[in-house]
Chain A
Amino acid sequence: MAKSSRSKWLLLGSVALVVLPLLLVEGKFAGSDDQATAAITHAKPGYQPWFTPIWEPPSGEVESLLFALQAAIGAGVIGYVIGKRQGLAARDDAEH
């Protein structure tokens, strides 16, 4: 199968996997980490974490900013590497 059509279908499939639960499942869509915390507190009522994060994002907004930053840095690096490779391939083609 051609590379581009495979990527297209795989991307569509990934989007569907993310969107379908939102449409079909009733839920609060809280983080599973928080659910695990709740399960621990349920098993051991009154459990106090013995160490707390040194720094916490002061608000949900700042937290989402940092999550977006994390994704942007990663996507930026991947985009750079893909672009660099295509540039090198084009140069090789021109030389031959």
Chain B
Amino acid sequence: MHIMEGYLPAKHCLAWYSVSAPFFAGGVWRIRKILAERPQARMNLAAAGAFAFVLSALKMPSVTGSCSHPTGTGFGAVVFGPAVMAVLGAMVLLFQALLLAHGGLTTLGANLFSMAIVGPWVSYGLWKLGQRLGWSVAVSMFLAAALGDLATYITTSIQLALAYPDPVGGFTTAAIKFGGIFALTQVPLAIAEGMLTVVVMDALAGKVADIRKVSILAGETR
């Protein structure tokens, strides 16, 4: 989903950097607070970052006949709140930009916004909605992760459409075109990410009732 190095006009790069920067700063503040208040959560915080690390390395084939990768940011967003993912997501994006020429430094702000900010906030919002509506923990976690993943790719499509509006149809046509490339490919991958997120929640939380899993993972209860 990462926008390639040099493929966003400089003004756009700057704009996305300035939108993402406060979220990143907020994430640093939030992580320090979590580590100070409940140091026992640091292992699961590392696991949340590691999950994003693994999933974004897995390029999977999709129904569109092309490949893409999940983001893995929904899990951490639900357990620790969306803010921390801006920092954990930045680590993933930097690794891929510097070592894999995947994404880029000029487009880091834009990619951070889609993968480490919009995705996690959508996940968190859906999780909260699920709790209010009384959905089961597994269903809420599944939907949070799957739709957060999808939201990331929709955001990428919009970012590219803003930079490259269609000569005839303008922004809307371009958004649909990029959406066809990114979002459609992502649908089965988002479903897979949702399922894998439930598996990882179960594995990390251990043998406790579903309802207690997230608070245990967050280090809020034992």
A66 to B102, CA, bound (A): 11
CB interface residues, B 89-111, toward A, < 8 Å: 95-102, 104-106
Partner of B51, one of A27, A30, A74: A74
Which B residues lie within 8 Å of A56 (CB)? 101
Binding site of B, secondary structure by majority: helix, strand, loop or mixed?
A: helix
Best-surrounded residue of A32, A33, A50 (most CB of chain B within 10 A):
A32
Cβ contact within 8 Å between A31 and B195? no
B207 within 8 A of A: yes
- Count chain B residues whose beta carbon lies closer than 8 angstroms to a beta carbon of A: 70
Q: What distance in Å separates the Cβ of B196 from its nearest Cβ neighbour in chain A?
A: 6
CB interface residues, B 133-159, toward A, < 8 Å: 138
Q: Using a Cβ cutoff of 8 Å, how many contacts connect chains A and B? A: 178
User: Beyond A40-B164, A49-B5, A66-B99, is A18–B60 a contact (Cβ under 8 Å)?
Assistant: yes
A84 to B174, CA, bound (A): 49
Which B residues lie within 8 Å of A43 (CB)? 164, 166-167, 174
Chain A interface size, under 10 / 10 to 19 / 20 to 34 / 35 or more: 35 or more
A73 within 8 A of B: yes
Partner of B63, one of A25, A31, A71, A74: A25
Residues 39-81 of chain A: 1 if any B CB is under 8 Å from the residue's CB, otherwise 0? 1100110000111111111000001001110110111111001
Cβ contact within 8 Å between B47 and A27? no
A84 to B204, CA, bound (A): 10
User: Across the two chains, which residue of chain B brings its CB closest to A67?
Assistant: B57
Cβ contact within 8 Å between A7 and B202? yes
A-B contact pairs, 22 of them (CB 8 A): A6-B138, A11-B196, A13-B192, A27-B61, A32-B64, A32-B66, A32-B182, A32-B186, A36-B4, A36-B178, A37-B4, A43-B164, A43-B166, A43-B174, A50-B6, A54-B105, A71-B57, A74-B50, A74-B55, A74-B57, A77-B53, A81-B47
